[in-house]
Copies of this chain bind each other. A is one copy, B any other.
Amino acid sequence: MRVHNFGAGPAALPLAALERAQRELVDFENTGMSIMEHSHRGDAYDRVHSEATALLRALLGLGDDHTVMFLTGGASQHFAQIPMNFLHPGQSADYIVTGGWSEKALEEAQRVGTARSAASTLENGRYTRIPSAEEISIDPAAAYVHVTSNNTLYGTQWHREIDAKGRPLISDMSSDFLWKPTDLSPYDFVYAGAQKNLGPSGVLIAIARDSFVAQGRKDIPTVLRYATQSKARSLYNTPPTFAIYMVRNVLAWLTDLGGLAAIEKINREKSRRLYAALDSQGDFYRAPAALDSRSTMNVVWRLPTEALEEELVTKATAEGLIGLRGHRSVGGLRASIYNAVTLESVDALVDFLKQFARAHHA
């Protein structure tokens, strides 16, 4: 029996994508080999690689001026690789800090060169909201402005356009990439580890404006230059072929479902039902995120005591509701309801939360 997986990443994958992988794992399309055994320069793998790129382009309606890359290293590596590429000597970069991952992105940029916080919503040791436009002060000469579109630890998300005041805009979309139709034309570089909305861990998708990538520094290691992989169609060296194959399967599932407009409708309904359940139990459940900053992907909440939180996790796990413990750095509870988490899973969680509240609420 399949459990309800609310893990923050690696996370639930669409059953159809997994079953497709299982069917053809040993023999891919009657080639007598697994897709894992195919050369990355052979026809069979090339069709998969090209299809993954084409599906992504079609889903996003991506223009010709943007390039798609399949990379390794995860967001943590690209926190460093981005300033290595785009922070030229004498320049400074701006970071909008809305949670633990944007903190790390800023720290790594400061190890590479000069970078500063253009806004931070840290208050009393926590982040509970996205800053208002007035709170952000962009350096008019910034090499780029870096934002984190969704914050997994605190359950907050940007719900408005970001004004980078004409500077190049870079976004870490790891935890909400493809959650709804998104116009990427304002962005010069976006990146997302696959293990939340896209596939297994081990591959990162980057989409960048060609002209921006071309301006990247040339005095860094060849393989770490985005221009190298962009020119080589992500085949400069051996890519993580099976992870990209799985991304292809997930993108095909998303396309069959009706694309980004269809998944947005489902995602909005999932988060609406879950927040409504939390809000309906007086102050037994407290979601600390500000109302206008609530994430549609990571729903974070607390209970009156840590003992009750622990009890909830134990009971939920016993009922097949998995991965509800909050990130070790912040505690509390968290349900990640990425694209592949079904409405049925959310309904099962909602039922459980109501029952648990009834049993414990004074």
* A residues whose Cβ falls under 8 Å from a Cβ of B: 1-3, 5, 7-13, 15, 18-19, 21-22, 25-27, 31-34, 36-42, 45, 72-77, 79-81, 84, 107-108, 111-112, 193, 195, 200-203, 219-224, 236-243, 246, 320, 322-323, 328
Contacts and interface: CB of A to CB of B under 8 A. Distances in A.
Contacts of A84: 221
A323 B10 contact: no
A194 to B, nearest CB: 10
The 9 closest A-B pairs by CB, nearest first: A202-B240, A80-B221, A3-B32, A76-B237, A72-B72, A36-B200, A22-B25, A201-B238, A202-B202
**Interface of chain A, helix or strand or loop or mixed?**
loop
A238 B72 contact: no
Given A75-B237, A77-B237, 16 more contacts: A18-B34, A18-B36, A33-B322, A40-B201, A72-B202, A80-B222, A111-B220, A111-B221, A193-B238, A200-B241, A201-B241, A202-B203, A202-B241, A202-B243, A242-B242, A242-B243
A36 B7 CA distance: 12
Contacts of A37: 5, 7, 10-13
A242 B25 CA distance: 13
A221 B220 CA distance: 13
Contact of A80 (B38, B203, B224): B224
A244 to B, nearest CB: 9
Which of A1, A75, A76, A220 counts the most B-chain CB atoms under 10 A from its CB? Answer: A76
Contact of A221 (B11, B25, B112): B112
8 contacts: A2-B32, A10-B39, A10-B241, A11-B37, A18-B25, A73-B77, A84-B221, A107-B222
B10 A21 contact: no
Contacts of A36: 10, 13, 18, 200-201, 246
